[in-house]
Amino acid sequence: MSRLTGSLLRQITLAGLLAVPAVASAHTIQICWNDVGATTTFYAGTYHNPSTPSGSIFVDGFENPFTGVISASSLPAEAHCFVPLDSYYLGSAPAGNPDGVPHQSVVVFQTFTSAYENSVHTVGFSAYSYIETPIGTYTAQTFGGGACSDADFDGICNDDDTCPLDAENDGDADGLCADADNCPLDYNPGQSDTYGTSAGDACEGDVCGDGVVTGAEECDDGNFAGGDGCSGICTLEVTDTDGDGVPDDEDICFGDDATGDSDSDGVCDDTDWCDGYDDATAADSDGDLVCDDLDWCEGYDDSAAADADSDGVCDFNDQCEGDDATGDTDGDFFCNDVDTCEGADDLTEGDHDLDGVCDFNDECEGDDASGDTDGDLFCDTSDNCPVDANPGQEDEDGDATGDVCEADTDGDGVIDDYDNCDDDFNADQADNEDDGIGDVCDTDDDNDGVLDTDDNCPVIPNADQVDLDGDGQGDECDGDDDADGLCPATPFDVIYNADGCSGVQAVALTCDETATWRNHGSYVNCVVHAANDARSEGLLTNKESAAIKRAAARSDVGQ
C-alpha cells in the first residue's frame, strides 16, 4: 500500500498550514475536483505545460499517481475549485510582495480519478513533479460521493485492499500486486528476468538469442547478429545480396534489385528501357528513348519532333503547336487556347465590345460593361440607374439620374430634391402655412414670428399672444377666451354663431380637450365633425378647418 511519508509530501492540513516554497520546476496554484456519482476526478493546476503525467497527489495520506493532463480550457464547467487566498498567482499580488513575481494562471491540470466517501479530505503533492510545492495556504476540502476511498474501483476500500492501485490485485497469488508483477498471470515470486526483457522468465516464452531453439524459432545461435546464417529474429538466412528476392545462386541478373530479365530479351530489368518487351523486335524502334507501346509519335525522335505540347497531336500534324488542347475546334483559325469564343467563328461573332461576353450571348452587344447589371432590360450604358432596377426609367427632376437611386435622406419615400423636410420623416409633406417648410421640421407652424415652443396658438397666427382669461391658450384658438362658458369675447373681425362663438371657439366648446375622453380617436372624431359643421355654417374656411383637424390629430388628448 502506497502511503505519504517523510519529506516527499508538502502536507496541507485542516489547520491550513502554509507550504514552504522550495526550488522546483512548477507550483500548484489551484486545485479542483468534480464528483460524478461515486467517482471523483481531481485536478491540480500549474502554470507550466507538462505533456505527460508526472508525480503524485496525496489525499488523506494515500498516494495517487497522476494519470492524465488536460488544458485549462478543458476543465469541466461544473468542477469545484479552490485557490489559496494568499497566493499571488491567480489573484492580486499581496501587499509588500518584494520579488515582483508576475501573476500566472493555470496552463494545464494534471488529473487522476478515484472514489472517496463524502467528507473533509486533506491534499498534498509529491516533490519533483510538475505539480509540486504548492504556493499559498491550502485548507482541507470537502468532496466525494462514494462509500469509501477506493483508488482502483475494485470494490475494496483502500484501507482493506492488499493492492489498492490495481483492480487485478494479486491474480497469480505470488505475493506481488499485478501492477508491479513482471508476470501478473504466472506465479513468479522471485521476479527472475534472465535476459532483461522486463518480462519474467515464467511468462517470457521463446527468447531469440538464448542459444536454445524453442517454439517457432528456426534457429538460435546465441546472439542477435545477422549474416551468419541465423538472423536476429531466429529465422534461417538466405543470401540475396541485391535484395530482389532471388537468392544469389539463382539470380541471372545479380546486382539487379528487380527480378532479373522478366521479358527474357537478354537485357536485365534494371537497364531495360522497355521492360516487358523483346528489345530486339518491339522496343524503341525510333531510338527516342520512348518505348513503342507508349510512343505517341512512333517513328520520330520524341525529344525533338514528337508532341511538345502534350495535346495528343504530334508536332508535325499540330496546327496549333503549343496549344495543350486539340487545336482549332471551331475552325475559325483561332487556336483553342487563345479563342475567346470557342465554338463560334471569332471573325464574325466573337466579342466585338470586349466585355467578356461573346456576341451570340451578349444581350447588350456594343456595351463595354457586362450588360444589364440590374436586370431591368436596360443596358448599363443607357440605364439612368444601372445598379437599381427601374424598368420605367422615372426621372422626376430630369437630371438623368433615375428616381430610384436619387437620395432620400429621411427614407420617407420623397427624394431630397422635393422633400420639404429632407432630414425628418414626413411622407404626407404637411405644411400648415404653405411656406415650403414641412410642419415636422417648421419651428413656427403659423408664421406669426413666435416659435411653436412658446406660441399659445401654434397653428393659428397670433403674434400678439393675447390671452384674455390667462389660461395659457391664446384668444385666437381659445374656445372661451373669457372663461365664462360662452363666447362673448369672440374677436370682432371673425364670423360667429348665435352664441357669439367663432368657428374655432365653437369647435373648442363642442370638443372640450379637458374633458375625459374614451380614447384619442374619440376626441379627434369629435373635432372632425365639429370643424366640418363650423365650416358648413361659414364660421371656418377650408384651410382653417384642416388646420384644426391636424392639430387635434397631433395632440395627446384622450391618450
Q: What is the DSSP string of 270-322?
A: GG-TTTTS-TTTSS-TT-SSS-GGG-TTTTS-HHHHS-TT-SSS-GGG-TTTT
Instruction: Give yes or no for a contact between 385 and 374, defined as CB atoms under 8 angstroms apart.
Output: yes
Q: Pick the residue with more confidence: 198 or 68?
A: 68
What Rg do the C-alpha atoms of the chain give, in angstroms? 51
Most confident among 221-230, 301-310, 319-328 (mean pLDDT): 221-230
Q: Which residues contact 347 (CB under 8 A, 6 or more apart)?
A: 332, 333
Q: pLDDT at position 99, please? A: 45
Q: pLDDT at position 351, please? A: 65
| Residues 220, 76 share a domain | no
Q: Which residues contact 236 (CB under 8 A, 6 or more apart)?
A: 218, 219, 229, 230
Q: pLDDT at position 144, please? A: 92
The DSSP letter of residue 179 is G
274 domain residue, yes or no: no
Instruction: Report percent pLDDT > 70 for the chain.
Output: 66
Q: What integer best gives the mean pLDDT of the chain?
A: 75
Pairing of strands 108-114, 30-36: unpaired
What letter represents residue 353's amino acid? D
Q: Pick the residue with more confidence: 338 or 476?
A: 476
Q: Pick the residue with more confidence: 153 or 359?
A: 153
pLDDT tens column, 376-418: 677 877 777 877 777 877 877 777 777 777 777 777 878 777 7
26 domain residue, yes or no: yes
Q: Pick the residue with more confidence: 282 or 512?
A: 512
Q: pLDDT at position 406, please? A: 73
**Strand order from edge to edge, sheet including 123-125:** 62-65, 56-59, 123-125
| Residues 225, 127 share a domain | no
First to last CA, the chain: 84
| Residues 148, 43 share a domain | yes
Q: pLDDT at position 356, please? A: 62
What domain count does the chain have?
3
| Residues 220, 116 share a domain | no
Is the pLDDT confidence value at 348 over 60?
Answer: no
Average pLDDT estimate for 27-49: 88
| Residues 89, 216 share a domain | no
Q: How far is CA 123 from the centre of its chain?
A: 40
Q: Which residues contact 435 (CB under 8 A, 6 or more apart)?
A: 442, 447
| Residues 139, 24 share a domain | yes
Question: To which residue does cell 495517487 refer?
Answer: 64
| Residues 106, 220 share a domain | no
| Residues 107, 229 share a domain | no
Average pLDDT estimate for 114-141: 77
263 domain residue, yes or no: no
pTM above 0.75, yes or no: no
98 domain residue, yes or no: yes
The domain boundary residue, chosen from 94, 128, 160: 160
Most confident among 107-121, 420-434, 457-471 (mean pLDDT): 107-121
| Residues 79, 215 share a domain | no
Average pLDDT estimate for 296-318: 66
pLDDT tens column, 292-302: 666 667 666 66
Is the pLDDT confidence value at 117 over 80?
Answer: yes
Q: Which domain holds residue 534?
A: 443-554
Q: Which residues contact 35 (CB under 8 A, 6 or more apart)?
A: 118, 143, 144, 145
Please tell me whether residue 53 adopts helix, strand or coil conformation: coil
| Residues 538, 455 share a domain | yes
Q: 18 pLDDT band (50/70/90 cuts)?
A: very low
Can you name the residues that pair with 48 across neighbouring β-strands?
Answer: none
| Residues 225, 150 share a domain | no
326 domain residue, yes or no: no
539 domain residue, yes or no: yes
Q: pLDDT at position 131, please? A: 56
39's enclosing H/E stretch is strand 39-46
Q: Which residues contact 146 (CB under 8 A, 6 or more apart)?
A: 38, 39, 40, 115, 116, 117, 118
| Residues 13, 156 share a domain | yes
269 domain residue, yes or no: no
Q: pLDDT at position 436, please? A: 82
The DSSP letter of residue 522 is H
101 domain residue, yes or no: yes
